[in-house]
Amino acid sequence: MIAALKAAHIIALSIWCAGLIVLPIILHVYGRRPENRTQAGFAEFRWLTHYSYTGVITPAAVIAVTFGTILIFALEVLEAWMLAKLVAVSGMVLLHAWMGHVIVEAGEGQGAYRTPMAGLSLLALVPLMGLVLWLVLAKPALEDFIALMPAILQEPRGNQIPARFDPL
């Protein structure tokens, strides 16, 4: 069961990461073609970006995050490297959402919107992917890094959860 979850997680993560790398390149190169000034060229560009994002990349992201969350609880991984990995994955999710915004703007602009250079998102995305991979494979002890944080961030505050936020 765990092996199947890990396999599905890795496959979905691979598709998601590949899509996040390819999509900005498609937007930059394909979106600036002169053919996009025609209705047929623009419709092709809009179809390619919209359906690759909503039909392939986003479902892969949802599956990767879902199976990853299940694995965290199934394996009871509650270590500092996992928290660091979740922060890096959150960065990937933010870039994923920004990519969706760019696709909507490019689709609604019909040639008037200049897509950002592919390097902008890749400059942030590739290091995040590398960090996730390194954290998962190395599982580093981050106690020395945690010790550098202020004491107020290292100890519980002792406050109760406000009643309006407590689901119980």
The domain total for the chain is 1
Give the pLDDT band (50/70/90) at residue 43.
confident
Amino acid identity, residue 158? G
How far is residue 21's CA from residue 99's CA, in Å, rounded to a whole number?
A: 11
Domain that holds residue 10: 2-148
Residue range 71-120, pLDDT digits in tens: 999 998 888 899 999 999 999 999 999 999 988 888 787 666 677 777 78
Q: Tokens representing 87?
A: 């922060």
CA distance 163 to 150: 29
Q: Is 25 inside any structural domain?
A: yes
Looking at residue 141, the DSSP 8-state letter turns out to be: -
Residue 42 reports pLDDT greater than 70: yes
Residue 161 lies in a domain: no
Judge whether residue 38 has pLDDT over 80. no
Judge whether 115 lies within some domain.
yes
Q: Average of pLDDT values for 44-73?
A: 94
Q: Rounded to whole angstroms, what are the CA distances from 53 to 19, 23, 81, 102, 112?
A: 8, 8, 30, 11, 21
User: Average pLDDT of 42-49?
Assistant: 84
Length of the chain, in residues = 168
